[in-house]
Structure 1
Amino acid sequence: MEKYDMKLTRKTVVVVGATGLQGRAVTRHLLRDGWQVRALTRDPDGTQAIALAQAGAEVVRARMEDVDSLTAAAEGAWGLFSVQPTVGSPGTAPEFTAEDEVRWGVNVAEAAHAAGIGHLVFTSVAEADRHLEERLPVNLVSKWRIEQHIAALGLPATILRPVSFMENFTGGYALRNGTLSTGLAPEIPQQIMAVDDVGAVAALAFSRPEEWIGREVSLAGDEIAPVRIAAAIGKALGIPLPYVQVPIEAIRALSEDFAYANEWLNTRGYRADIPATRRIHPGTMDFDTWLERTGASQIAAFLDSARTTGQDA
């Protein structure tokens, strides 16, 4: 605890989207560091919300589409962590759009402003600031629009811009028919990061507001080709796991936006500074370390569950 300001950690940080992957990671690190955490969720009786309460968080009902509920939940807090789902994120409704994502992010920023929050940490996405230089995937543009609203409000804020998450390879999005299968080109390295490391950096930012307010930081933990990702998972689990690229045209038949996102990743992609991320957070995991610590067990659990339920994984 020597690196943390004890006067700060007695204050309350609100975590929006607390039951999601990032929200849980941020909450876990904040509680570990001695903060009071107010965890916001639309379902306080859900399994993840109950686990947060048992870990020591104050669980409060609020919905990102309801700015009044967010403002009420933020009253009296010092800090606020904001993250919104993107189109296709687990748990979002099929009709959820990029406009909904922007609206939710704007609502959280407005609530933070109304409640007089002293430090907002917003998780955006790497390269969102290249919006004016080139055509970007929809999910990057939506994050940029939220960033711009935060800036327009003059909020004391930190913008974290992580690349794609290692956790994307732990479920049905990528594990299908005994293969690792995505729209990414097999041999083109992709930048990735563990969600837990985003939580660690967010907690660090809250602990050092004098250093972090006003900063915009891109984050990445590794750069690795999909065929290497598949090989590493297969080795960790002791199973054959070939990599198969889904044809872009097959993806385009389902979603033009998702097809373009894959094309962008295959041709331009993220350009975060991995050594700089490690200077900020020396414990940042590469893919093999993440597999050893948590990733392999998550993937094994998904495959076991898929076999048990008869799903084609």
Structure 2
Amino acid sequence: MEPTDKTVVVTGATGLQGRAVTRHLLDGGWQVRALTRNPDGAPAKALASTGAQIVRAEMEDISSLVDAAEGAYGLFSVQPTVGSPGTEAGFSAEDEVRWGKNIAEAARTAGIRHLVFSSVAGADRHGSEALPRNLISKWQIEQHLAKLGLPATILRPVSFMENYTGEYALQGGNLVSGIAPDVPLQIMAVNDVGFVTALAFSQPQEWIGRAMALVGDELTPVQIAAHIETAIGRPLPYAQIPIETIRAVNEQFAFAHEWLNERGYRADITAMRRIHPAAMDFRTWLERTGAAQITAFLNAQDAEGQDA
């Protein structure tokens, strides 16, 4: 694509989704204003080296967000979710909602012409059944965007394949989670959030006012473990963490696993393939990046074990 004079602001730019979105927007010829709390950190410097403009802003500080968004065409909004890998200790669902609303208010004040919000699959089922707190918080942000009348696109990704590359899922030589071994779980590569976000910004007439669940594959935990074993060439059996063990740590996280076991995301893979035929299934993701990341993490674990 030819370079454009239009700028898109990317919040959470040094996070998983933010990095993927930034990469796809830059590849598509957009100017990117990457927001971060720490412009001097290594992740921000890595983004700068790809061509993004690094801007310091805090999701807690609306004025910093307004300043960062002034003059931009679009904005990608994503907030951390309680219990997800890398979430800071003490971060609450109330924090998530407040940050999402702050970004929405800043987008309105700055005159953003297209906002893309990364929500979560299943958030739109609010009211039809009991939902985990993380889905309710995303839904509250979605509702605030609607209340403000912002020109917005809602993307609702399922669980990320990248969750299987670190301590969150790799423990004691096993693949672990609270999902029952035979329950299908919908997953996707975070790279595909970047693809669809860039697509939405490039086709505003088709995407403003639209909401879509994003999904790449559907596999049971046992199948996921088997695919990883094949890709990395070493055993990695699946071990379910009892829900009560999870509940002892976090009631809401336990409820989220119960919801996934009993109801699930229910995203439409066929619809996803229609708009993004190259969306990665799990084996493709393993071949491209996942297996190398998992192997590196397991090797580091092995080395730590030998040093202990």
TM tier relative to shorter chain: over 0.9
Counterpart-to-counterpart distance in 1, 2:263 and 2:17? 25
- The residue that corresponds to 1:179 in the other structure is 174
Tell me the TM-score normalized by structure 2.
0.97
Q: What whole-Å deviation, never above 9, does each CA across 1:43-77 have from its counterpart, x for those lacking one?
A: 01111100110000000000101111001000000
- The residue that corresponds to 1:89 in the other structure is 84
Q: 1:119 aligns with which of 103, 114, 118?
A: 114
Q: 1:115 to 1:311 in 2, by over 3 A?
A: farther
- The residue that corresponds to 1:167 in the other structure is 162
Q: What whole-Å deviation, never above 9, does each CA across 1:21-59 have from its counterpart, x for those lacking one?
A: 000000000000110000000001111100110000000
Q: 1:117 to 1:94 in 2, by over 3 A?
A: same
- Unaligned runs of 5+ residues in structure 1 are none
2:249 aligned counterpart, secondary structure: coil
1:253 aligned counterpart, secondary structure: helix
| Contact 1:181–1:245 (Cα < 8 Å) also in 2 | yes
- The residue that corresponds to 2:223 in the other structure is 228
- The residue that corresponds to 2:145 in the other structure is 150
Structure 1 letter corresponding to 2:132: P
Structure 2 letter corresponding to 1:224: L
1:125 deviates by: 0.4
- The residue that corresponds to 2:97 in the other structure is 102
- Unaligned runs of 5+ residues in structure 2 are none
**2:37 aligned with 1:35, yes or no?**
no
**How many residue pairs end up in the alignment?**
307
Counterpart-to-counterpart distance in 1, 2:94 and 2:102? 12
Tell me the TM-score normalized by structure 1.
0.96
1:223 aligned counterpart, secondary structure: strand
Counterpart-to-counterpart distance in 2, 1:236 and 1:174? 16
Counterpart-to-counterpart distance in 1, 2:201 and 2:303? 42
**2:187 aligned with 1:201, yes or no?**
no
Aligned CA RMSD, in angstroms, stands at 1.3
| Contact 2:154–2:211 (Cα < 8 Å) also in 1 | yes
Q: 2:294 aligns with which of 286, 294, 299?
A: 299
Q: 1:12 to 1:101 in 2, by over 3 A?
A: same
- The residue that corresponds to 2:245 in the other structure is 250
1:99 aligned counterpart, secondary structure: helix
1:256 deviates by: 1.0
Counterpart-to-counterpart distance in 2, 1:30 and 1:311? 43
Aligned residues with identical type, % of pairs = 71
- The residue that corresponds to 1:69 in the other structure is 64
1:31 aligned counterpart, secondary structure: helix
| Contact 2:85–2:163 (Cα < 8 Å) also in 1 | no
**2:261 aligned with 1:266, yes or no?**
yes
| Contact 1:88–1:94 (Cα < 8 Å) also in 2 | no
1:180 aligned counterpart, secondary structure: strand
Q: What whole-Å deviation, never above 9, does each CA across 1:92-151 have from its counterpart, x for those lacking one?
A: 331110000000000000000000000000000011011111110010000000000000
Counterpart-to-counterpart distance in 1, 2:295 and 2:302? 11
